[in-house]
Structure formats: structure tokens, C-alpha cells
Structure 1
């Protein structure tokens, strides 16, 4: 060892080569030992050797020592400055990289392409596009603007700062391109939402004869997934296999995600299954997302359980996706279990996860829990405020939504288009027409939010529910855009409630043109005619539906009990507990009759006697579900019934009486909002 040291101390080039080896292999301790030997031996550390030591310390992440050494240098050159700039950039001490670059310029040193590339990468990571532009100008001035390495980093910087026009300009002006520059362009397109551009760039890259690698394939597969371009994705999959990248983790994740987003869950599952060694939280979350989007919550939860069995820790995206599924299906039991896991993994402070939890409890009917989760968020972001406003809207609590909106503004959180959809919906369901109109007119003027078609639809609904059909019609006629299907459906529903046959026919015609397969227009118009006992018109509409093969969406309700979801349809005789359910149903019918309930047979759009109509009403799915819940759910637990259609007027009246005679709170979520029944009244105040 001593002989070797003596030999090294006589040969500066050998010392530099050894230091370079330590830098490349990240052998920090050996590098420090050699540095110490040089100092102890009194060997003069010239600029050449010091630069190698700077590079070694920087590459090993020992930046403080590199900086100390740099500060002791009596003579620095461009290599010294570049080593420090690159070291700061690579070790994510990005502001220091920029500061060192400025010091270099003040010292009169002209940067080289490596210094430019490092400082441009730092600008990209920090999102400092203005400084990036200045670096671009300086690079052009110094003659490096079109240099391959600098140009690739400039294109990447602009794309990461969402300036794709400038990124493309830099790319197209580069006289020579390589795989890195093409990858930067494709990745930029994909991450900035121009997925078609990413696929076109990939095709150009192939046509120009460049070799594709796993990074290009991953970005292009991501674009295919976003576009649901499964056929293109399959051709990429064949390239993955041919090039031997099928075991690459990033490519496997991208393939799973592409198939899941394209709806091909069988292929997604097959790719996922081949990853047994490299399976990770990214691919698991992609598969979960795919099942969630297809409302296959059981399969999503199975993948989650399998993920945990394999020791893979979920991330915030995994929880967000699963909790969203629980919210959409009002699966409270699974949602609360996931909430416990969220706390365990300390993701309850994540803004998106906490917001989804607010939404989940709201959609499961537990308003107080939703508010509690929101109040536990230290500094709620815009998405959390939006979730809480939406929850109040779902529960028809207009004043609560307005108070939340006021608090949001007081906290200087800027509302967006989503905020106003929820706020207008809340006002609509609570009969706050004047307040809703005030907020609509303030959107652009006060908050700079341009109203979109969904906001116009909310106003149509707002006026219609309030019985202001003439004002609603005038609003429609003065709209800058044609109402969408939701707008016409809302107007038609209002015409049915308020018995306006002429306006109802107009709305039905418009809705049938927009969505000819939608049975809602036919059913609502049929109900309007039935209310006026125009049975011939009702029969004509039914015939039209048969001729056009338009099928009425069947109503069904479901209840979670005993870790199982129980689904009921109207006149449903299939449940194993049917005897007990119908005995309870008949008992309830007798009790509510005595309490004053009178069936509203006008809501049945058929020409039949009242006794038959009463029987049909008595066997509506929500009433069957309530009867089942009363015999299955203990008194201490909430009764939460979900229905896929709007609750009918008669069932709404019946459930009010049921809540009174049984002394239980009943929560019903239909396709429009929540109804909280207690002691013979409903939270909606009979306005919904």
C-alpha cells in the first residue's frame, strides 16, 4: 500500500485517474482517504487535481466538502465552476446551482455546454421558466443554443414548465437530434396532455430510424392510456416484447395502466400477473383504478388486499382511488376501514386523500363525519373546500353550502368552476333561487370564472324547481349556448312537478333529439299526461318507446347489512328473507295508514283502479329496502338506503311516516340528493 502511495504521489495523471474511478463508482470513503494522504504528504493540489476531487465529492453527494474545497481554490477554471454547478444540480440543491452559475458569470468565466445543461435542468425542476428563458438567450449568445445536449435540456425545461410551443420550437430548430431529445419531446407532450402529439412524435421518431428505449415506450404507453388507444397500445406491447423490455418495471407499470385505462382489464390483469417479481404500488394502483372506473369495487379491494399480503405499501393514489369507489357506491363499511388504513400510513394529511374522505362520508350519508374530517384538515386546500360544498349540496343543505363558500372566500381560497356547480346545485335543492342567481351572476364579474354549460344547466334547474317556469324558459332562450341534456331534463322534470304540459312537450322533444335512447324524456312526459288523466297520450308514448326500442331504466334500491350489499327491485320476490320482509312491509303499511298516510296514486302513469296502484306503490324498491333494513340493522346503526332513480313522491311521503312510527332515522340517497327522514319529516322540507 505504501509503495503504491509513493508511486501515485509521483504521478498526477495516475492520481487523477484513481479519483475519477472513485467518483464513477461512488467510493466516497476511499476518495476521502486519498485526499487525506495527499494533504499529509504535502502534495501540491493543482487546479487539475482539485477539479477531480470536486467532481468526486459532488458525484458522491458530499456537497458541503466540495464547497469547502472550492472556496479554498486560489485559481478556478471553467471545469471547477461546472463541477460545482453540476454537483448542486444533480444533488437537487437547485437554487445553489443557479447562484453558482451567476457567480461564475460575475467572475468573468464563460459557461460551457455542461454548465448550461445543468443550470437549465435546475430551472426545469424548479419550474422557473423566466430564468430558463434567460439561460436560453445566453446559450444562443455563447453559441450553444443548438448544441445537442443543451438543446435537449432546453426542450425538456420548456415542456416541464408547460410551454410546449417553445419546447417544440427548440426541438425543431436543433440541427441534430438524438434519442434523448426525442424522448424529451414525447414525454413533454404526454405530461402536458397533448397525447395525440406524443403518438405522432413517436411515429416520427420511428420513421427517422432512431432506437427506442424503455423511457420512450413508457411515455408513449401513457399517452395511449389517456386516449384509450388500445390498438396502438397493443402494437407498442409487441415492440416491448421484441426489444426485451417486458420485465422492465416502468414499462410494466405503463402497460398495466394503458390496458386498465382502455378498459381491457383482462390484458391489464395478465400484464400485472407477469410482474410477480417487479410488481409494485404503481402497477397495483393502475389495476385498482381500472376496476374502480368500471364499478368493480370487489376486484379493486381484492387487488389492494393482495398488495398488502405481498408487503407492498400503498400510496396516497391507491387510497384515493379506493375511497372514491366507496364514495360512488356508498360502501360505508369498506370506506371506514380504508380511513383507518389512511391514518395508519399517515396519509390523512394528504390534501387529495382528506378531500376524498370528506366526499366519501358525505356520499355515504354521514354528514357529521364529513364535517369532522374536514375540520381535522390543518390548512384545507381548494379541493377540500369543494368537497365540503359538494357534500352540503348532496344533502340539500343550501345554507350550509353558502356558509362554507363564505368561509372559503374569507380564507382567501379562490373558487373555481367546480365550486360554483356545487353551490348552484345546493341553492337549487334548497329553494334558494335568488341566492343562486346572485352567485351565478357573480361568477365571472367577481371571481373570474367563466360560466360553462353545466352552470347554465344548474340555473335552469334552480328556476324550474322553484316553479319559475316562465323565467326558466326566458333564461334558456337567452343562453349563449344550447342547453345540454341535463338542462332539458331538469326543465322537463320541473314541468312535470308543476303540471305545465305545453312547456313539458317542448322540453321532451328537445331531450329526445339530444338523447333518443334516454327513456327519461318519455317517462316524464308520460307522467305529465297521466297527471291530467290523458291516457291516450300515455299509450301513444308507450307505443313510441316500444317502436323505438327505448327501454325504461328499472328502479332498484340497495342496503348494506352484514358485510353484504342487498339489492331490491320493485315487486322483488327473490330475496331469501322475502317472507319476513313482506310481513314487515305489510305491518308498516298498516301502521302508517293509521298515522295518516294517504297513497298518492296520481304518480302512477297507468289507467288502472286505485287499489292496483296502491299495491304497485307499496312494492316500490325503496320501501322494500327500508323494510329489510328495519329487520336487519340494529337500532344503534344508521339505516342508509340507496336508489338509482329519483325517489317517487309517494315513497317519500310513506318513508316520512315510517320514520315516525318506528322511531328510527332513515337516510335515503337517490340519484339526485340525500333525504334524512326523522320523526315524520324530511331534511328536504318536501322540496327536492
Structure 2
């Protein structure tokens, strides 16, 4: 850059403006050329120019240059200190940021509300509650605790520390001074700390007071819906999204798709996607994932190809979603081709989850030996997550030899994985090796390892109802068990009854599994024709899967069951998984 040819000599305002542009564009080389011009023209002593230089280096992620410049500045004001502290915070230099914050005060410069906001964020990320409380005390002393941005930063700081009671206390102390910023901070903090119901309550209070909402309100609250998951809450928030004219917003739309996907409503997810005015890669990933998890692999693969045609470059998340679709449906050739294109065509490096998905794809299709070879040839060290799908495939295809081999590797990394012991025990029983099976049970007892109990839940009238196996604690238990007996009588003599009767343990274990109780409660509680949506923490067993198919046919209901692996949509005696899960 040669400014001498301009005719008019550039002044400090010119340099400050040009440096600001370089920072915005991350144009580090041009910024360094301007730095040289500033030194040559002797403008570095002017605080406005030196601050602009400092900010430019921070925005260009050149923190070493920023820190070096800061040390050499002849004069520093609040803007200089705040710029370097902010730069360090943005690059996760939280301890350095706090040290400079203390040095700033020692030099006689007091923080303003913006400096306090950054300091509170840095302190929260350091996870030191004592220092955070000291900083909070200083904020109170300066009379800034109830300010819009400082107050929100305090809420966010306590949320980072998982001290949600303190976060809520700060919010309440702000009283009528609460704003959209502080309300969003509270909702985000509650969601981050897995307090979905409390977040929904806070959102309901916002709606009741007719408070303004934006994408930073809707995105986290929709995550709360997805985490429960709550279909009714999702619908209610969707209505608020439409009312606030955010239904075409890319980020809100993607969050809505994720929420509907977790609720098993792929139709609503697709409708939301079609309304987004400018879908990005995240939006595409979300809708592909929706079909992948809900038993429509053809649609997932079709959307994947359409996404590429429209010029979007798939990410690791895209490939994980579409590979899962192939795995869930046994589309081995499609899955292998997509995995190769991921590496060779798009240059995306596979991660642990991608390798795990490919093992699952090979294993489920019966290629147990090939799945083992694939694991042995992965460029990364195989983790327990990569070995687990091989063990599951061995269970499905009765390969005890490789199952023992896979189990050995899993237990070396995760010695308390109850599923491994239970899987081996069941396989030993089926192979007639009863002593080996008993040894697995003894090992579990010796190591005090317990299997996670099966739990299913269903949402009725905005309330979550939980059930465990043989559960009789629900107020409607008598009606639930009567409904179950009624269904069992209706399906007597069907293929389900014949299959189930061959299981000696049916009466003791299978008949009263938690998902059966949950679906019966849904059938007696929900209006005729309404889908019954059930969620389970474990994989659905074969007996319950068959029961759901026949129950959907006999009751003429759509039953949607989400286990810890995928969604099953039961309708008229069939399942979306095609009995391949």
C-alpha cells in the first residue's frame, strides 16, 4: 500500500478506519502494511490509532502480535485494556484475560460495563466459584449488577458454574430491569444445565408477559423440547415462532427440525425445512438426520444428493446422518460408496462416529469378519464405541468367537459396561454354555455392576408419565393393566402370541415391559386417532417390537417408539424399520 500517491496525506482517522476494515475482513497482511505506515507516519502515539491496531490484530486472530503491541503502547486507556482482554477471552486465554483485568485496575483504570461483561465471562469459564463471587461483589460495589449486559453476564457466569440457583437469583434481583438479553441468558443457562422443565417455565413466563423473543430465545428453548422430548411444548413454541415471524429464520428453523425429529414427527420437520428461506448446511443436516432416524433411508439419501446438487458441501455431520440411514436399513453398497466419497471426493476425515457407523453397517448385514478387518485397519486407535456395534452384530448373527474378542477390547477400555456382560451371558445361554453365563453374572456381582433398568415415558396433557417393568405405582395402573390384558386377548392366536409363547420368561419379564405399560396408558388417555409417542432409555426387545406391531393393527393407532438407537413408527401391523434394527 502506497498512500503517498494519493496526493492528500492520510490522517489518524484514515488509518483508524482502514484498520477497522482490515479487522472486519480478517485481512492480516494488509493490516500489517498499515501498521508499518502508522509507525512511519508517527501515528502510533495517538491512542485512537493504536487501539484500532490492537483491535485489528485481535480480530485477525494474531494474538501474539496483539500482546506484543499492547506491551509497547506508550499510552493505554480503557479501550486499549478492553480490546486486549476481549481478544484473549475470544481465544480462550481466560487466565491471561483476568490477569490483565487485575493489572488494569492496579494501573488506576476502572472497568466499564463492557469490560466487566468480558471479565465475568472469562471468570465463569475458569470455573473458580470463589473468584467469581469476588468479581460479583466488585460489580455490586460499582453499582453495575442490574445493568442489562452486566446482569446477563452474571447470569451466564453462574450458569457456566452450574450454579443455576444463583443465576435465577440474579435474574429475580433485576426485577423490572430484566431485558431480552437477560431472559435469553437465563433460558440458555437452564438448558445447558439440563433443566429443561425450568427453562420451559421461564419461557412461558416470557410469553405471559408478552416479552419479545428472538432467535437466541427460540434456539435454546427448542433444545429443551428436544431433550425431554416434549411434542406438545414443541408445537406450542412453534406457534410462538410463527407469531414472531421467525419461521423462515435459518437457525430457528434448524432448531425446530431437531426438536420435531427428537419427538418422532418427521412430517413436521420436513414442513419446517420447506419454510426456511435460506437453508444452510446445518438445516440440510437436520432434515437428513430426521429421515435417517425415523426409518426413511431413501429420503435421507435423496436429500443428501439434492443438497450436493444445490452446491452445499457436506460436513462430517452430514455424512454421519446419511451413513446412519444406510446402517439402519442395510444399504451396504450405498453406505460403502458414500463413505469412500466422504474421503476421496469431499476430503472429510472420518472420525470415531463414522468408523463406528461403518462397523455397524457391515456387522448388521452379516459381514462380521469384514467388520473386524475394518476395525483392525482403521487409521485411528479403535475405541469402545467402535467395538460395541461389532459385539451387537455378533449377538444378532450368533458369532460367539468374535463376540468374546470384541467384548475383551470393550472391557479393557470400559470395565463397567454392563451391556457387555449381559450380551455375553445371553449368548452363552443360547449356546448351551450355562457355566460361562453364570460366570458373567458372578463377575457383575463381584464388581458391583448393575444393568440400567428399562424406563419408558409418554407425554399426556403436557405431563411426562414414566414407567418401569412391572410398574404399579401409576394412579391409573389398574386401567393400564386391564388394557394390556385386553390387547393380549385380542392378539391371542396371532403370530405374536405364537412367538411369545415360545419364551419361557415371557410372563415374568416380557409381558410387563415398561414400553407396553406406556403404550397402554397412551391408548386409554389420548383421544381416538392420536398417535401414541413413547420414549425408552434402552433398545426395544424383539417381543415388545412385535407387540407394538400387532397393537397398532388391532387399535388402528400409529405408535411411535424411540429407543436409545432409533425411532420405530408402527402402523397397521408394520414398522418403519422393516424389522431391521
TM-score, normalised by the number of residues in structure 2: 0.93
CA distance 1:199–1:534, change in 2 (3 Å): farther
- When structure 1 is superposed on structure 2, of 126-135 and 256-265 the one drifting more is 126-135
Equivalent residue, structure 2, for 1:687 = 580
Deviation sequence 1:216-256 (CA, Å, 0-9, x none): 22112223444544444333223323433322322211110
In structure 1, which of residues 484, 490, 493 is the aligned counterpart of residue 392 of structure 2?
A: 493
In structure 1, which of residues 230, 239, 255 is the aligned counterpart of residue 154 of structure 2?
A: 255
Question: Secondary structure at the residue paired with 1:566?
Answer: strand
2:165 paired with 1:272? no
- Decide which structure has the larger Cα Rg and report it: 1
CA distance in 1, matches of 2:333, 2:85: 50
Deviation sequence 1:127-148 (CA, Å, 0-9, x none): 5555434432322332234654
Equivalent residue, structure 1, for 2:495 = 596
CA distance 1:313–1:473, change in 2 (3 Å): same
2:292 paired with 1:393? yes
Equivalent residue, structure 1, for 2:317 = 418
Contact 2:249/2:277 (<8 A) preserved: no
Contact 2:530/2:557 (<8 A) preserved: no
Contact 1:629/1:639 (<8 A) preserved: yes
Q: How many residues align?
A: 581
2:408 paired with 1:513? no
Equivalent residue, structure 1, for 2:79 = 180
2:547 paired with 1:654? yes
Gaps of 5+ in 2: none
CA distance in 1, matches of 2:324, 2:128: 35
Deviation sequence 1:3-38 (CA, Å, 0-9, x none): xxxxxxxxxxxxxxxxxxxxxxxxxxxxxxxxxxxx
Equivalent residue, structure 2, for 1:30 = none
CA distance in 1, matches of 2:545, 2:306: 33
CA distance in 1, matches of 2:193, 2:498: 38
CA distance 1:613–1:311, change in 2 (3 Å): closer
CA distance 1:536–1:178, change in 2 (3 Å): farther
Deviation sequence 1:508-552 (CA, Å, 0-9, x none): 232223233432222222232233243332332222222222221
CA distance 1:592–1:615, change in 2 (3 Å): farther
CA distance in 2, matches of 1:651, 1:106: 82
2:443 paired with 1:557? no
2:109 paired with 1:216? no
CA distance in 1, matches of 2:395, 2:101: 54
Equivalent residue, structure 2, for 1:111 = 10
CA distance 1:487–1:598, change in 2 (3 Å): farther
2:31 paired with 1:138? no
Contact 1:199/1:223 (<8 A) preserved: yes
Shift of 1:433: 1.9
Equivalent residue, structure 1, for 2:568 = 675
Q: How does 1:220-259 map to 2 (within 5 A)?
A: 220-259=119-158
Equivalent residue, structure 2, for 1:621 = 514
Q: How does 1:455-604 map to 2 (within 5 A)?
A: 455-598=354-497
Deviation sequence 1:574-600 (CA, Å, 0-9, x none): 111111111111121222232221476
CA distance in 1, matches of 2:338, 2:315: 12
- When structure 1 is superposed on structure 2, of 522-531 and 378-387 the one drifting more is 522-531
2:259 paired with 1:360? yes
TM-score, normalised by the number of residues in structure 1: 0.79
Contact 1:659/1:665 (<8 A) preserved: yes
Q: RCO greater where, 1 or 2, for CA within 8 Å and sep 6 or more?
A: 2
2:301 paired with 1:402? yes
- When structure 1 is superposed on structure 2, of 380-389 and 513-522 the one drifting more is 513-522
CA distance in 1, matches of 2:258, 2:12: 51
Contact 2:88/2:94 (<8 A) preserved: yes
Shift of 1:122: 4.0
CA distance in 1, matches of 2:82, 2:418: 49
Contact 2:250/2:277 (<8 A) preserved: no
CA distance in 2, matches of 1:271, 1:428: 48
CA distance in 2, matches of 1:377, 1:220: 37
- When structure 1 is superposed on structure 2, of 226-235 and 489-498 the one drifting more is 226-235
CA distance 1:396–1:228, change in 2 (3 Å): farther
CA distance in 1, matches of 2:186, 2:239: 22
Gaps of 5+ in 1: 1-100, 603-608
In structure 2, which of residues 530, 552, 557 is the aligned counterpart of residue 637 of structure 1?
A: 530
Shift of 1:323: 1.0
Deviation sequence 1:175-208 (CA, Å, 0-9, x none): 5444322211221222344445534544555676
